[in-house]
Amino acid sequence: MRKFIYLFISIFIFASCNNDSMMTEEEKKLINSGNKNTPMRVLTIDNEADALFLRTPSIDVEAENIKADKDLQLFIQRLKTTMAAEEGVGIAAPQVGIGRNIFLFCRTEEPDMPVQVAINPVIVSTPDSVICFEGDGCLSIPDVSDNSFRSPWVMVAYYDENGIKKEEMLSGYSRRTGFTGVVFQHEYDHLQGVLFIDKLCE
């Protein structure tokens, strides 16, 4: 009988964990500190604590209940609000104090530059060659712009905000015709604790 009780408790705990939010209590508190129209504070490297967090690699979120996770969906909305307020073309979760593998990127080659959500993104492959992208910049490094090494295209995979897995090739490195591939690489680097100033062209 005792074994059955332990088994029942184990199953209950396991089920509770699976139905619980993907986020920690600390992350949920930060996310729920405002509504979907409230911008979040952007971390900057001139703040010592911020700089340390920005250099810390992020971790994945559980991908099974993305659409149903209220905290995650609110976080995505607040990321969009923050990016719009900062007038950026991309923003990563670590930049607002959430160490999770999530970012937004604009499809700069399309009209109105629609915003795409990338959850647990991976770069599957890149070419051997690199280009020097002119005028790279970052919301976490205010008033700094420089040229950075980037791949001319990347094959990527990620989940969108509805939990649908996407696989595609992103290219472009011209501010005139589009640079979606570069934006993806820039934001992906944030998840590894890497900043564009680490990849400056000589």
Annotated active-site positions, please?
A: 187
> Apex CA 159: angle with CA 158 and CA 165, to 5°?
90
182: burial class by Cβ within 10 Å (0-12, 13-18, 19+)?
Answer: buried
65: burial class by Cβ within 10 Å (0-12, 13-18, 19+)?
Answer: middle
Contact 148, 201 (CB under 8 A): yes
| Count of other CB atoms within 10 angstroms of residue 167 | 10
